[in-house]
């Protein structure tokens, strides 16, 4: 919603500014009333106006698309809430759309955190109530481990990395996950893990070398430099 509002705001500002930037020189040239009524001044005004006007129009078009997507996502989420399980084909039929469009909508719904949805690869169904249980189990694993990688979560849950990312972001937006994550390094920390990491030792107590992976309380790691075991 914030991004859509920004698109509206900047789109309107750029469009209006671009319109007047091009319009004033044109009027000045045609009616000979501008401070610069030369042909070159009119062309410069049109070019400058286009530089502002065209991006403004593009932003307004994108804002209209966002509005349409948001309305469609709300429609799809209401259909999903009425079914514990539903196939993409049936969902598309009820939404009066096609499967590709509803699948994209479901992805946006998960990212927005509107409802918890899980795709059951075994049956090909979108799952809502069971999907929430799966999401809560995923967050429970993260909280119990305090720190875990996407690969480890994928092995333990049987979900793909992308599915895990969508669920974590969706649960975060719903206020059901308060930890931190770094998709580049592929690591997720619970709130407790994040707090403990801030207090964890960053240098080896034996050789003083910098620790790339500071140990949390109760964890044991091996120093990459001296090989000694460090307990958090």
Question: Does residue 146 sit within a domain?
Answer: yes
Residue 130, pLDDT above cutoff 80? no
Q: What is the pLDDT of residues 16-75, one digit of tens each?
A: 887 777 766 666 666 665 555 666 666 776 777 678 888 888 988 998 898 888 899 989
Q: Are residues 55 and 19 in the same domain?
A: yes
* Structural domain harbouring 205: 200-232
Domain boundary among 19, 41, 67: 67
pLDDT at 179 over 60: yes
**How far does Cα 70 stand from its chain's mean position?**
15
Indicate if 224 and 174 belong to the same structural domain.
no
Q: What is the pLDDT of residues 69-117, one digit of tens each?
A: 889 998 998 888 888 778 889 999 999 999 999 989 988 887 777 777 7
User: Domains in the chain: how many in total?
Assistant: 3
Check residue 188 and give its pLDDT: 92
| 90 domain residue, yes or no | no
Q: Is residue 51, in this structure, part of any structural domain at all? A: yes
Same-domain check for residues 17 and 63: yes
Give the pLDDT confidence score for residue 39 in this predicted structure.
64
User: Does position 221 have pLDDT exceeding 60, yes or no?
Assistant: yes
């Amino acid at each position: 919603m914030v991004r859509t509002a920004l698109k509206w705001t900047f789109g309107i500002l750029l469009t209006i500014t671009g319109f007047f930037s091009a319009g004033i020189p044109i009027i000045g040239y045609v009616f000979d009333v501008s401070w610069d009524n030369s042909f070159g001044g009119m062309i410069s005004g049109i070019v400058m106006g286009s530089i502002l006007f065209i991006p403004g129009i593009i932003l307004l078009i994108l804002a209209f698309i966002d509005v349409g997507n948001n309305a469609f996502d709300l429609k799809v989420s209401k259909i999903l809430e009425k079914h514990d399980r539903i196939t993409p084909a049936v969902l598309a039929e009820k939404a009066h759309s096609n499967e590709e469009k509803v699948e994209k909508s479901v992805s946006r719904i998960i990212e927005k955190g509107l409802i918890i949805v899980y795709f059951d690869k075994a049956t090909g169904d979108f799952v809502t109530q069971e999907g929430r249980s799966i999401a809560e189990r995923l967050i429970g694993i993260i909280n119990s481990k305090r720190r875990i990688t996407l690969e480890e979560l994928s092995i333990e849950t049987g979900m793909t990395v992308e599915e895990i990312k969508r669920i974590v972001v969706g649960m975060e937006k719903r206020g059901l996950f308060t930890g931190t994550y770094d998709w580049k390094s592929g690591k997720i920390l619970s709130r407790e893990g994040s707090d403990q990491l801030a207090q964890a030792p960053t240098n080896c107590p034996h050789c003083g070398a910098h620790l790339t992976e500071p140990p949390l309380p109760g964890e044991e790691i091996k120093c990459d430099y001296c090989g000694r075991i460090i307990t958090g």
